[in-house]
Amino acid sequence: GENVEQHPSTLSVQEGDSAVIKCTYSDSASNYFPWYKQELGKRPQLIIDIRSNVGEKKDQRIAVTLNKTAKHFSLHITETQPEDSAVYFCAAPLLSGGYNKLIFGAGTRLAVHP
Amino acid sequence: NAGVTQTPKFRILKIGQSMTLQCTQDMNHNYMYWYRQDPGMGLKLIYYSVGAGITDKGEVPNGYNVSRSTTEDFPLRLELAAPSQTSVYFCASSQINTEAFFGQGTRLTVV
């Protein structure tokens, strides 16, 4: 079926360690892959995105990699800090009736311990 | 630029009542979405729209209706509210395959 699967559901790391969150998608036509961060009680906000014509994109401590053949993409956070603690969501546009509907993964709750 | 504005922020409904959640965006985005987020859970797509007059069902459309008469507005209608519709509702807008901007959310409780 049409879905976006995200793992792990929870992730606990020590400050300074790296964190990796993985997502798979079902629609081979998907060509845009955003990652959102949601702090407690707040709205989701985009932190990084990647399009299907590149394999990797980096922005300071965060990076996203894409493997179109395997239909999966990953978020990498290096040198984690306590303020990185939040819920992270991946998303992908799934084609439906000629239009793209943006479907989110189930989320990963990241806890960074000082 | 106000972005995406949702009203109300909070609402308590009794079982069987109906209400409309309002959503307006001023970014001239074609795509608009309604998601619900249950406590500790992810974002589930209820309905979406790709332009005025065009709407389609998402993952969890039952119990809801939408309309899109203008580019700016995308109201979500709840008929016959049920406790299972207790959730936080987010409206979002975007252009195709670009950043989606979210409203601040509406916390709805059905008792």
- Distance (Å, whole) CA A12 – CA B42: 19
Query: What does pLDDT average to over chain B?
Result: 96
Is it the case that residue B93 has pLDDT exceeding 60?
A: yes
Residues of B in contact with A44 (CB under 8 A): 43, 90, 102
Give the pLDDT band of residue A29 (cuts 50, 70, 90): confident
Q: How far is CA A12 from CA A85, A98, B91, in A?
A: 9, 40, 30
- Distance (Å, whole) CA A68 – CA A55: 8
Is it the case that residue A2 has pLDDT exceeding 70?
A: no
Type of residue numbered B99: E
- Distance (Å, whole) CA B59 – CA B104: 21
Q: Please give the pLDDT value at position A3.
A: 87
Does the beta-carbon distance from B100 to A43 stay under 8 Å?
no
Q: Please give the pLDDT value at position B91.
A: 98
Give the pLDDT band of residue B6 (cuts 50, 70, 90): very high
Place of tokens 């001239």: B28
Tell me if chain A has a CB within 8 Å of the CB of B52: no
Instruction: Convert the pLDDT of each residue in B66-76 to its tens digit.
Output: 999 999 999 99
Instruction: Convert the pLDDT of each residue in B18-57 to its tens digit.
Output: 999 999 999 999 999 999 999 888 999 999 999 999 999 9
Q: What is the 3-state secondary structure (H, E, C) of B51-107?
A: ECCEEEECCCCCCEEECCCCCCECCEEECCCCHHHCEEEEEEEECCCCCCEECCCEE
Percent of chain A with pLDDT over 70: 98
- The minimum CA-CA distance between A79 and chain B, rounded to whole Å, is 25
**Distance between alpha carbon A3 and the CA centroid of its chain, in Å?**
14
Q: Please give the pLDDT value at position A81.
A: 98
Instruction: Convert the pLDDT of each residue in A43-93 to its tens digit.
Output: 999 999 999 888 999 999 999 999 999 999 999 999 999 999 999 999 999
Q: Please give the pLDDT value at position A101.
A: 92
Neighbours of A91 (CB within 10 A): 25
Q: Please give the pLDDT value at position A98.
A: 77
- Distance (Å, whole) CA B4 – CA B6: 7
Q: Please give the pLDDT value at position B2.
A: 86
- Distance (Å, whole) CA B21 – CA B4: 13
Chain B residue with CA closest to A52: the answer is: B97
User: How many alpha carbons lie under 13 Å from residue A1 in its C-beta half-sphere?
Assistant: 4
